[in-house]
Structure 1
Amino acid sequence: MTAQPRSGQPALAGRFGRFHETVAHWAATRPDSPAILEGDQTLTYAALDQLVQKIADALSAAGLRPRDRILIVAENATSSIALVTAANRLGACCSILNARMQPSEIQAIADFAQPRMIAFPTVDPQISNAAATLADTFGATPLIALPGFGDIRTCVPADTDPEPAADHTLNDLGLIMFTSGTTGTPKGVMLSNATLLTQAEAQCINRELTQDDAIYLVSPIAHSIGLSSNVLSAFAAGARLIVTPRFRVEDLVERTAAGEVTMVVAVPQLYTKMLEHIETAGIDMSGARLRVAASGGASLDPALKARVLDVMGVTVSNGYGATEFVPVTRVPIGMEAASNVVGLPCTGVELRIVDDNGQDVPQGQSGEIWARGPFCMQGYYRNPEETAKVLTEDGWLATGDLGEILDNGMLAIVGRKKEVIIRSGFNVYPADVEGALSSHDDVAEAAVLGRPVPGNEEVVGFVTAMPGRQIDTAALTAFVRDQLTAYKVPSEIIVIDAMPIGPTGKIQKALLKDRL
């Protein structure tokens, strides 16, 4: 069946051409309002706008041009947010990678995307040296110092062609967000400037954000939740962002208890950690002003929701989306819903529940979730084959997730059609982990599956040994840890004598699930 969109259309994309203009807007209309808080420092919108322009001038002088691709290896820091905004001001197309990634992962994406420039916004080395270490690895040199907020280092610009110009700035490519990359062809989700603006405004509408809100940035800005649901929505609303390069749950709890935080978007496990710290440290939450506690990436345990409401006085609301299309649905603020219910279609979004042939199923039956609307990607960068698998000619995105639309119009998630593992809100593609495991000299074959645990999903690897070899699972874990981002590293590696092989020669992972 199809759920009809609610009335009204986002208008931010009609007022602005690129998201950096929202910062300039607040700098002109509310210059002294706080934009970013990092540590004991505060940047007003006027100061942020000036910093963005300073970085944009430096990037331009270094050779970055409109529609050039720039790869930004970032932590959650003022330097990173200002750099992304400055690149957008120049009209460049950003790709943001997590500074916790391994050099080999970054290089694989760089080889594919062929950016004009690779940039590393650094932070105080006493807090984190992740970006600075990677900058050294890639031979980046200082471009511009940001007193109090680290610096920005860049590699020598490459001789590459910019992206073609669209018919309007709004339709130019604003972001390529990579969701995988170490094996095969990387999946780079292409988002136009218009899509970035409409995503930001949708978050403001769904969460009723205003200039009085303070958003604590938890998810990495290399993730759609961090960038769209937090940074861009804060800029759209004129709200303030609280950022920390090295996340500490203690800081989040203390600021929340002091009434400094009004909105948090996080995976369910974070709320569990917050509750644990509140109980252990005996923190009084009576002064908290948290009004939006949003969740995604995993189902919400009813017991967890009840505890958060009791301790923090706010109802955790779930939502649904993907890097390719965010947001799709949201549970209205304060509304109670079952753990697998992810809400109503957002403004402008159409939903279909279809069978394996792409035909609508009857009301009350489950099927694959298809979505269409203004928040959808243009496709996968330089990957028309994968794009054709998920995006129809008339704009429907086949999500690979299974769900049903309830009588009240809410979407309920019932499973996943695709293999992707969601660990702590991050997508883990089995092929990436299998490639790392198989590259070890002792490993003949590898298969990776997800294993459900309370409120999360673990990565489990099955391996077979090369003839005459034995596999030391601890050594193998250490081996892949040097190749993979931490959340991709298997929680357990299981050595088996032989893989179950089907008639087509493929590993039958369904049979391996029985051994989890």
Structure 2
Amino acid sequence: MTLDCNRTIVDVFTEACAEFADSPAFTCLGHTLTYRDIDRLSGQFAAYLQQCTQLQPGDRIAVQLPNVLQYPVAVFGAIRAGMVVVNTNPLYTASELKHQLTDSGAKALVVLANVAAAASEIIEQTDVEHVIVTELADLHPPLKRTLVNFVVKHVKKLVPDFSFAKSESFTQVIKAASQAPKPHSATPDDVAVLQYTGGTTGVAKGAMLTHRNLVANMLQVNLHMQDCFRKNQDLFVAPLPLYHIYAYTIHCMCAFSLGNENLLIPNPRDIPGFVKELKGKPFSCFVGLNTLFNALCRNEDFRNLDFSHMRLSSSGGMALTKDAAKRWEEVTGTPVCEGYGLTETSPVVCINPRQAIKLGTVGLPVPQTEVKTIDEDGTDLPVGEAGELCVRGPQVMKGYWHREEATREILGDDGWLKTGDIAVIDAEGYVKIVDRKKDMINVSGFKVFPNEVEDALTAHPEIVEAAVVGVDDEESGELVKAFVVVSNPNLSEQDVRDFARQSLTAYKVPSSVEFRDELPKTNVGKVLRRKLKE
């Protein structure tokens, strides 16, 4: 089976806008932009970059936005002008932002006013020449735009003070150019996106994702999911941030290429607000992750929604617990297709096919993707044996930006990428992720995988969330420690350990349990075990 990976993101974008011009593309806070609107507005943004700045094709532009209508306009506009998009987390602290802007050499920044204070602190210490500030409702009709932006700023006071020596507003920028943008002819091997990764484990590195990588992964996912991805008739719910590569590929590549609509949720942590956005909408595809599925299922208004149009629920970004998957299916009537990927693979490697879900696995490799497991010496392992998962396919990144040594450590000349994840591949080809290699706990020579212990703990009806780390111990090298969030304040450490004993062998049972009000997470909702370990 061959995939035509010789097209660029601009080719895919242009074809979709021509074919689905009058169909809704992105909806946010009650306002919808059609494919024609996205084409026009991103063209105006591209023209501004080409005609009103000194920026050249290949220059980096950081986009620091949550899920708002300006995100696809800025990203598609930047790519149409030949720029490299640097997806940037709006929750970054000033020092995290400074690292990413400096490391990428970004020359422009598009930032939401609500989070611009961090950028204003460090912008003079970077190469950024152009700062474009946008407010929440900038792409809404004039009256609504004025009202919403006023309420956000002056009534809810959600925009802290900030000041840039020089900046422009997004609304000015998209009207600034006098001529249409000049088409930029990118090649499939040009870098389209610098996607930073490694923030949960150390200093963030920029994965160079080319047009070929992203178009290939789009085609792989669309083909793998062809029994449930329809053309021009699905409404995808987009609560995961588009600056995260999983959401970017699903919503801005897969759904967009098929002429489908994306319902953008700017703040998925506001569960009541999120549920309000879903009311009365015929959503058919829901993209989420474990912590979000848990939170929504505990909300009564969510449980009362109309799920009759639902065709697909997709999970990625972190391990899906059996309990969360079971509860989600009970509430929505739709099983969760868990998948797996990495930033370095654009990101999708495997997905559970909807008609043949194997719970506890991340499914089968998408088309034209090879997987294998290796031992510590790099020797290939037989089926059924746990080892480090390696991946090869057209979606594997070009390498890390300006980090040749780090690239060589995980990417071989033969195209095999070491994932750092421990996996088992069964006889049918399904992949089960056992855990992160670096998170594995060694108790007296026995390997303990945190995911397994967390899965066992969250089966308890009063344990809402659990995270497990290894703590140093003189006798056994390491011991298992659990951090839990519970719904019953009377639950004791002994209760938790006794429950764990019912399904885990003795050395896997947590030796200590710490109760927390919440677990530290990335903005995507992935639990930060590193922070707990510290």
**Distance in structure 2 (CA, Å) of the matches to 1:253 and 1:105:** 32
**1:440 aligned residue:** none
Give, in whole Å, the separation in 2 of the partners of 1:486 and 1:391.
Answer: 26
For 2:217, give the aligned amino acid: Q
Q: Report the secondary structure of 2:432's partner residue.
A: strand
Corresponding position of 1:71: 62
Which stretch of the first structure deviates more once superposed, 250-259 or 62-71?
Answer: 250-259
| Pair 415,329 (structure 1): closer, same or farther in 2 beyond 3 Å | same
* The one of 247, 253, 268 aligned to 1:232: 253
Matches within 5 A, 1:315-394: 315-325=335-345, 326-339=347-360, 341-394=361-414
Partner SS state of residue 214, structure 2: helix
Structure 1 residue identity aligned to 2:297: L
- CA–CA distance in 2 between the matches of 1:194 and 1:267? 27
Spell out the pairing of 1:161-180 with structure 2 (5 A cutoff). 169-180=187-198
Cα deviation, 1:93-122, whole Å, max 9, x if unaligned, reads 1111111111110001222221222222x3
Q: CA deviation at 1:396?
A: 0.2
Report 1:95-134 matches (<5 A).
Answer: 95-120=86-111, 122=112, 129-134=113-118
Deviation, 1:252, is 4.4
State the Cα RMSD in Å: 3.5
The amino acid that maps onto 2:56 is: R
C-alpha distance in structure 2 between counterparts of 1:485 and 1:412, whole Å: 25
Shift of 1:377: 0.7
Partner of 1:299: 319
Q: 1:304 Cα deviation (Å)?
A: 2.8
- The answer to whether the 8 Å contact 2:188/2:211 transfers is yes
Q: Name the CA distance, whole Å, in 1 between partners of 2:326 and 2:261.
A: 28
Distance change in 2, residues 1:456/1:111 (3 Å): farther
Query: Given the alignment, which residue of 33, 39, 52 partners 2:29?
Result: 39
CA contact (8 A) 2:244 2:524 kept: no
Q: Secondary structure at the match of 1:72?
A: strand
How many angstroms apart in 1 are the aligned matches of 2:134 and 2:304?
43
**Alignment identity in percent?**
26
The CA distance in 1 between the partners of 2:378 and 2:468, in whole Å, is 31
State yes or no: 1:214 paired with 2:235: yes
Partner deviation per Cα, 1:397-445 (whole Å, 9 max, x = no partner)? 0111111111221111122213499xxxxxxxxxxxxxxxxxxxxxxxx
Please point out which of 46, 49, 56 is paired with 2:39.
Answer: 49
2:109–2:131 contact (8 Å) kept in structure 1: no
Q: Identify the residue that residue 297 of structure 2 maps to in structure 1.
A: 275
Q: Which letter maps to 1:194?
A: R
Which residues in structure 2 correspond to 1:474-513 (within 5 Å)? none
Partner SS for 2:298: helix
The secondary structure found in structure 2 opposite 1:338 is: coil
2:205 is equivalent to residue 187 of structure 1? yes
- CA distance change for structure 1 residues 97 and 144 in 2, over 3 Å: closer, same or farther? closer
SS of equivalent to 2:67:
coil
Aligned position for 2:220: 202
Query: Do the aligned partners of residues 293 and 189 (structure 1) sit closer, same or farther apart at CA in structure 2, a change above 3 Å counting?
Result: same
CA displacement at 1:306 relative to structure 2: 2.6
Contact 1:216-1:252 within 8 A present in 2 as well:
no
Q: Do the aligned residues in 2 keep the contact of 1:353 with 1:360 (CA within 8 Å)? A: yes
Task: Give the whole-Å Cα distance in 2 for the aligned partners of 1:186 and 1:260.
Answer: 38
CA distance in 2, matches of 1:115, 1:204: 32
Is the CA contact 1:459–1:489 (under 8 Å) kept in the aligned structure 2? Answer: no
Where relative contact order (Cα < 8 A, 6+ residues apart) is larger, the structure is 1
How far apart, CA to CA, are the structure 2 residues paired with 1:294 and 1:274? Answer: 15
- Contact (CA 8 Å) 2:239, 2:267: kept in 1 or not? no
Matching residue's letter, 1:54: Q
Task: Report SS of the residue matched to 1:169.
Answer: coil
| Structure 2 counterpart of 1:174, one-letter code | A
The whole-number CA distance in structure 2 between the counterparts of 1:366 and 1:20 is 41
| C-alpha spacing 1:98/1:456, structure 2 compared with 1 (3 Å) | farther
Greater mean alpha carbon deviation, residues 134-143 or residues 72-81: 134-143
Q: Provide structure 1 residue ranges, at least 5 long, that are not aligned to the other structure.
A: 1-7, 123-128, 156-166, 422-448, 464-483, 495-508
